[in-house]
Structure 1
Amino acid sequence: MKFVYLLLSLNAVNCIDPLVWTNNGFVQGIHEKDIVSFMGIPYAIVDPANQFGETLDVPPFEGVYSAKDDSALCPQQDEINFTIIGTLDCLRINVYVPEGANPDSLLPVMVFIHGGDFRRWNSNRDTYGPDFLVTKGVILVTFNYRLGPYGFMSIHRSDIPGNAGLRDQWKALLWVRDNIAAFGGDNDDVTLFGEDAGAASVEFHILSKHSKALFHKAILQSGTVLCDWVMAEADTQAPVKLAKYLGLDTDDVDDALNYLYTIDPKMVITASIDTGLIESFKPTVEKEFFRVKPMIKDKPSELLNEAKLAIPIIIGFNSREDHPNMRYFSHSIDSNFKRTNSSFRSKIKKYFNLDDEDLDEAERLVKYFYISDENIGPHTIEAMLEFDADFSFMYPSLRDSRYYVEAGATVYLYTFDYAGGRNYMKNRFRVKLNVGAVHGDEIGYLFQQSPNIQPRCSETNEDKVIINLMTYMWTDFAKTGNPTPARHVFTWTPVTEEYSYALLGDKLQMIHHPYHRRMAFWDQVFEIYGEFMRW
């Protein structure tokens, strides 16, 4: 590997570790099998005097920076045991390089943005291990960004305009542009990809004039800017509400902010959850300020109307998106499965700005399509899951693709439908479903994961085939802009008026107009109520 090398002596044992010069100084990585890893490199610093706003630049390193630890994570609630974890010293980036890479023959770069509903998760290799992708001849970059109140508080002021987490992502992309060549990566051949909130984030960067020059291809996995769970209205009184919950009785936003800066971030996360404010800490439309670059200057549907996308893009979803935990509508059904607060109504109300009469009509229309005149109960669970997947993932992906096709972009659609031993979310949440793929399941076939992440994983030969197929398609797309796997008999054709999808399952095949009846229904709903979309 043609990096600079440093000879170290430890307990009289000589070892050679790779060194790379970055804009902040030398970083030292570690050899692991056929991969050289540089983990936990700081790319920005949270400003102690403005923890919800713009970051500070990283000062030059004092000596050689040891890039061997990816354990940093931003403040959040753990989704498994619900403990509050993380610190604000979390804006770190990881670079994984195939053995043999060198600055004289630059490789394509794949930059991944993790999901987690803008409030949880991180980029560490326990979940997003590089082995499967990097061994296919690309450089993989992952990174953390601020979450919850620290990433998405907006008070419509120039110092806290909102979308700080997206600005962190932008800073990470700038770091890639300025430093990746030293690792053997081509900053003129960058594919930005993500899952869930990470996929929506990718699309915000596509639609932002400040970011789109920083990458050249994109992959959206189970998330677009049109999904109903992505956007929120800014709560300009959020600092006051959090401060009051934490013990300061004030109505002054500045006093509240200064108080919050002295509070342990874990307590701020706890307060955000306990008060319900966590739901408002999402991407939001920003007001414009002098010398402040807005990450989101208008609602997504308007941004898409203006889109002139020239880069190739993959957009897709999983076949059973919303099965884990019934998390998006379980609040709508009590222990006796009696109707308490309609999932249909609450989701429609959140997405469309309708008066009560139109909301009643829309609710009746959607409810009748999915469960006819039935009351919500055990016998309607499958239909409710279907509704939620359609409304929150599948139809937004279809609508999204139409904007780009109309703009002249090359768009590839897919449905991931494989049920095997590495289905990530099924294993993580112990979902007993022997068919299809739930939300996030594809992650297990793109990234190597540690045993504690895949506790019940028993990898089969069939799983290994899917790993190879998925990673070849993703890396071939990164290299050529075409995901058709060169090593397999399957042609993944881009979207035309036929709206063909690649079905990625036990067999690879192109399917035309899948879910046609359900998608046609939502076409009618949006034709009726589209002018009332909040986003």
Structure 2
Amino acid sequence: MAWRKCVFLWCVTAVLADGDWLEVEIEQGPVRGQKHSSGDLYSFYNIPYATGPSGENKFKPPLPPPTWTETFNATAEKIIVCPQNKLIISLLPGVFEVKEDCLVANVFVPVTTEKDLSVFVYVHGGGFSSGFGNFYQGTQFIREKKDFIMVTFNYRLGIHGFLCLGTEDVPGNAGMKDQVELLRWVQKNIASFGGNPNDVTLVGSSAGSASVELLMLSKSAENLFHRVIPESSGSLTPWTIQTDPVDMAKTYAKMIDEQAMVDDTRSLERFYKNTSMDVMTAELFPDRTDSAVYFSPCVERNTSGAFLIESPLTTLKKGDYKKLPILYGFTNMEGLLTISLFETWKNKMNENFSDFLPANLQFESATEKIQVANTVKQFYFGNDSVSNENILKYVDFFTDVLFSFPMLWAAKLFVEAGHNQVYLYEYVFVDENTPQVPYTNVRGANHCAQSFAWMDPLVQNSETPEFQKMRATVREIWHNFMKTGTPVPQGSSLPEWPALSAAGTPHMVLNETLELHGVLLPERKGFWYPIYEKYYRDSVPVPGSGAGSIVQKNMFTLLTIYVLFYFITKIVIE
């Protein structure tokens, strides 16, 4: 039987190469990829890794992928994207194909005779409401190293992926369950492309970064990957987990249709099941001053197939997760993400700063909230109004609230839980192509700038020599981590980079010259800790109701009948 198994495995992983084409056999059937336009690697686009449920089932977990007997041509005739606001994808008309059944993967394979290549799985960002797997690529990175395979993919977004009602048909976290299914697909199929399923590094930017950390904390994704690189977000940011998903679903339903009857979960579920995807994604999610988004992952009821059954904070404090090597960090001016809103928000912040406190803080009274808001405003702006003169403090505030403090808090909890392979960094590189912050002559690294350093350039031949040098350094660090689980292995020419200690040190400053420093942002981190310890609003599982609570309602009805019967009988007898 052993020899038969060997022959079968050889057949499954057999590769047919013919110049510009590469054909492999995966579990679903034969797949053909094409030589990439840049050369030196093959690209496979739009391979279904699962089937997206449709109609009234569109919020349920993903279904098994299709199978085929004829060769599947994995070429990029169009970029398949999941439903999202049309404005985002209308910039390139005719390039995209929006489909509810949008769960596809893209695989990039270097031209090499080597097998058991490392696997680099990238989770795209977009605030959980926009984006697609093929938005950014790392083909240059692959061609340089020639020893890893890259996988990108789509997952359901916005309402489609993160409506969370706690019912059987809308349990929540469909987009995260898509991500888990992709990782399972990689485990089953990546060897056919020459990859090693036991050597998978999971990487993500922004919402993809938060996803990567959540995947590390989720039991449903355990043993599906081996190293993680969350870039510029984490599980504790105020926009990662919904605090009250049912209330949010009601609010958004009213935004879509003022007449919508959504007073209870059953009617809310019926509304979303029967509303077209075009209508549900027509609204651009307005910018919220409380640093939250409308639809993001949630804590589910503890049912079969749940992705997240307790809050990330609970899991981190318990240390009940598989502690993988983690390359963890953010840029020095993540808050530049909100700079386009400055002209509007500076006035609003002066009128009512409490509106800008993060959504994951709660207070016993409006007075208490205003007191905390005044303390925060004083810390960043002193006695001054928010104005053009202190715009850098505006950037610091949103850097800390949206990204840096939640990540530093999580890093502290990692180490306290015995996680001894956490490598912390701050990316600060800028060059003459980096825009100056308005009203200043200062430049800073914007949100996810470190991600753009390893990705393919958006515009070819537009980079300064300084940036090209920085890109080479970032790719070397990321590659080291992918191959060894450490950013600077023994024998490297880069400065030594120890893991994070209980003292909160060290961290690496990523610039043209790498520098190892002590505690990262000690004053700003120290300011927020007591506020979060006292006022943090933790996420709780969405209550089961509607279609998921029929048994409970029936029990209540039976109990009511029993009580009535008892009293009627008692009256008759007396």
How many angstroms apart in 2 are the aligned matches of 1:39 and 1:92?
8
- Post-superposition Cα deviations, 1:312-331, rounded to whole Å, max 9, x if no partner, equal 11110001111144267765
What's 1:55 paired with?
62
* TM, length-normalised to structure 1: 0.86
Note if 1:339 corresponds to 2:347: no
* TM-score normalised by length of structure 2: 0.81
Pairwise CA distance, 1:493: 1.6
1:446 aligns with 2:459: no
SS in 1 for 2:160: helix
Q: Report the equivalent of 2:570.
A: none
- Distance (Å, rounded) in 2 between the aligned partners of 1:430 and 1:37: 41
- Cα distance in 1, alignment partners of residues 311 and 75 from structure 2: 40
Residue 408 (structure 2) aligned to one of 393, 398, 408? 398
Q: Name the CA distance, whole Å, in 2 between partners of 1:421 and 1:72.
A: 36
Shift of residue 444, structure 1, vs aligned partner:
2.1
Deviations 1:474-497 (A, max 9, x none): 111111111116553322221122
Judged with a 3 Å threshold, the aligned counterparts in structure 2 of structure 1 residues 283 and 260 are, in CA distance, closer, same or farther, namely: closer
Distance 2:181 2:51 in 1: 10
| Residue in structure 1 matched with residue 222 of structure 2 by the alignment | 212
Q: Structure 2: which 5+ residue stretches go unaligned?
A: 1-12, 541-574
Does the Cα contact within 8 Å between 2:21 and 2:42 map onto a contact in 1?
A: no
- Residue 317 of structure 2 is matched in structure 1 by 305
Q: Is the aligned partner of 1:491 residue 2:503?
A: no
Aligned partner of 2:162: which letter? F
Shift in Å at residue 211 of structure 1?
0.4
1:178 equivalent in structure 2? 188
Instruction: Find the aligned partners of 2:128 and 2:174 in 1 and give their Cα distance.
Output: 11
- Do the aligned partners of 1:134 and 1:140 also contact (CA within 8 Å) in 2? no
2:131 counterpart of 1:121 = yes
Matched-pair contact (CA < 8 Å) for 1:353–1:534:
no
Change in 2 beyond 3 A, CA 1:245/1:179: same
**Counterparts of 1:247 and 1:338, CA distance in 2:** 29
Q: Deviations over 1:288-311 (max 9, x none)?
A: 23xx22211122211111224431
Q: Is the 8 A contact 1:19 1:26 kept in 2?
A: yes
Aligned CA RMSD, in angstroms, stands at: 3.2
Hey, what does 1:482 align to over in structure 2?
486
CA contact (8 A) 1:324 1:431 kept: no
Q: For the residues of structure 1 that align with 2:259 and 2:371, how far apart are their CA atoms?
A: 44
- 2:300 corresponds to 1:286: yes
Q: Structure 1 245/275 Cα, relative in aligned 2: closer, same or farther at 3 Å?
A: farther
Residues 344-355 of structure 1 mapped to structure 2, 5 A cutoff: 344-348=354-358, 350-355=360-365
Residue 510 of structure 1 is matched in structure 2 by 516
Task: Provide Cα deviations, 1:137-164, integer angstroms capped at 9, x if missing partner.
Answer: 2111111101000010011102211111
Change (3 A) 1:258 1:130: farther
Deviation of 1:115 (Å):
0.9
Give the structure 2 partner of residue 317 of structure 1. Answer: 330
Please list every run of 5 or more consecutive structure 1 residues that lacks an aligned counterpart in the other structure. Answer: 8-14
Task: Give how far 1:345 is off.
Answer: 4.2
Aligned length: 510
Aligned to 1:11: none
**C-alpha distance in structure 2 between counterparts of 1:74 and 1:170, whole Å:** 17
The separation in 2 between residues aligned to 1:119 and 1:24, in whole angstroms, is 29
Conserved 8 A contact 2:30-2:70: yes
Deviations 1:450-492 (A, max 9, x none): 43xx7xx721222222111111111111111111165533222
CA contact (8 A) 1:218 1:314 kept: yes
Residue in structure 2 matching 1:135, options 139, 144, 156: 144
Q: CA deviation at 1:333?
A: 3.0
Can you list the C-alpha shifts for 1:322-349, whole angstroms capped at 9, x where unaligned? 1144267765334xx772332x543245
User: Alpha carbons of 1:273 and 1:388: their partners in 2 closer, same or farther (altered >3 Å)?
Assistant: closer
CA distance in 2, matches of 1:389, 1:327: 14
| Helix, strand or coil at the partner of 1:280 | coil
Tell me if structure 2 keeps the 8 A contact 1:414–1:501.
Answer: yes
Aligned equivalent of 1:37: 43
Partner residue, 2:549: none
Match of 1:166 among 149, 172, 176: 176
Which one is further off, 300-309 or 429-438?
A: 429-438
CA drift of 1:31 comes to 1.6
Per the alignment, in what secondary structure is the counterpart of residue 214 of structure 1?
A: coil
Aligned partners of 1:340 and 1:63: how far apart in 2? 64
On the 8 A contact 2:203/2:229 being kept in 1, the answer is yes
Task: Rate the CA distance shift 1:338–1:447 in 2: closer, same or farther, 3 A.
Answer: closer
Residues 388, 439 of structure 2: 8 Å contact kept = no
Quick check: 1:20 aligned with 2:24? Answer: yes
Partner of 2:176: helix, strand, or coil? helix
Give the C-alpha shift of residue 280 in structure 1.
Answer: 2.9
Percent identity, aligned pairs only, is 28
Indicate the residue corresponding to 1:4 in structure 2. 15
Distance 1:194 1:529, change over 3 A: same
Indicate yes or no: 2:81 matched with 1:76.
no
User: Contact 1:207–1:307 (CA<8 Å) still a contact in 2?
Assistant: no
Structure 2 counterpart SS, 1:301: helix
- The question of 1:108 aligning with 2:118 is answered yes
Q: How does 1:408-487 map to 2 (within 5 A)?
A: 408-409=418-419, 410-420=421-431, 435-451=443-459, 458-484=462-488, 487=492
Instruction: Tell me the CA shift for residue 248 of structure 1.
Output: 7.9
Query: 2:310 & 2:276 partners in 1: Cα distance?
Result: 34
> Equivalent residue for 2:557?
none
How far apart, CA to CA, are the structure 2 residues paired with 1:221 and 1:117?
13
User: Which position in structure 2 is the counterpart of 1:12?
Assistant: none
Deviation at 1:420, TM superposition (A): 3.3
Higher helix share: 2
Distance 1:305 1:223 in 2: 19
CA distance in 1, matches of 2:287, 2:492: 53
> Do the aligned partners of residues 438 and 273 (structure 1) sit closer, same or farther apart at CA in structure 2, a change above 3 Å counting?
closer
Paired residue type of 2:102: C
